[in-house]
């Protein structure tokens, strides 16, 4: 049985294309990965590229060039890397640009580290000074030891700042925990 349809007719509805491909895939009637026409339609936004992989391509991911779409939303890029079972993108330039975005935001840095159980370099860990809640989580669950002297000192200095009760509590928990570990 041969099924054909015009992929470009889904330019305004990539979700519809992904649903059709999912149904065809489930019936064993479609097994093409990295189809340029499909990726042209379905990989215009990070969320639709992610959904294509999540629903249809699973571990195959998208092509090297199509992965660039995740630079628009690194949070979805991290979810994409998890479902394809890799910790980096295929293209070195895409990976380098993605990484620059990740290490500038504490939430992205923590999500990446938690997803792949990997630590950042000591210089990159400075990103956590900007978010004491994530600093505590990173130290407790990823690093599993206090930060280096440089970051640790900056976090202690943050305790003199005005901050909400939740952040203050997280910082106090980290400082107490770090004191016990040192």
pLDDT, average across residues 167-179? 97
- Residue 56 burial class via C-beta count within 10 angstroms: exposed 0-12, middle 13-18, buried 19 and up: buried
pLDDT in tens, 73-105: 999 999 999 999 999 999 999 999 999 999 999
Question: For residue 150, is pLDDT > 90?
Answer: yes
Residue 115: the pLDDT is: 95
Count CB atoms within 10 A of the CB of residue 124.
Answer: 15
When comparing pLDDT for 58 and 151, which is higher? 151
Residue 35: the pLDDT is: 84
User: What does the mean pLDDT of the chain come to?
Assistant: 93
pLDDT, average across residues 143-165? 96
Q: CA 101, CA 155: separation in Å to the nearest integer? A: 22
* pTM, two decimal places: 0.89
Residue 1: the pLDDT is: 60
pLDDT, average across residues 136-145? 97
Question: For residue 34, is pLDDT > 80?
Answer: no
Q: CA 136, CA 14: separation in Å to the nearest integer? A: 40
Residues near 46 by beta carbon (within 8 Å), at least 6 away in sequence: 69, 70, 72, 73, 76, 77, 80
Torsion of CA 135, 136, 137, 139, to 10 degrees: 80
Confidence of residue 30 (pLDDT cuts 50, 70, 90): confident
Domain definitions of the chain by residue range: 122-182
Question: For residue 65, is pLDDT > 80?
Answer: yes
Q: CA 110, CA 99: separation in Å to the nearest integer? A: 13
Instruction: Using alpha carbons, list the distances in angstroms from residue 93 to 39, 42, 65, 100, 104.
Output: 20, 22, 10, 11, 17
């Amino acid at each position: 049985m041969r099924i054909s349809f015009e992929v470009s007719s889904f330019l305004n509805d990539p979700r519809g294309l992904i649903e059709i491909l999912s149904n065809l895939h489930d019936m064993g009637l479609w097994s093409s990965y990295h189809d340029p026409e499909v990726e042209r339609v379905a990989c215009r936004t990070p969320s639709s590229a992610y959904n294509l992989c999540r629903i249809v391509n699973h571990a195959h991911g998208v092509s090297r060039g199509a992965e660039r779409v995740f630079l628009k939303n690194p949070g979805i890029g991290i979810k994409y890397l998890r479902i394809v079972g890799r910790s980096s993108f295929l293209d070195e330039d895409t990976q380098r640009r993605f990484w620059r975005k990740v290490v500038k935001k504490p939430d992205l840095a923590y999500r990446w580290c938690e997803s792949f159980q990997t630590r950042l370099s000591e210089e990159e860990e400075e990103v956590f000074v900007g978010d004491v809640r994530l600093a505590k989580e990173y130290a407790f669950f990823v690093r599993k030891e206090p930060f280096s002297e440089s970051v640790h000192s900056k976090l202690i200095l943050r305790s003199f700042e005005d901050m909400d009760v939740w952040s203050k509590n997280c910082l106090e928990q980290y400082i107490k925990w770090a004191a016990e570990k040192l």
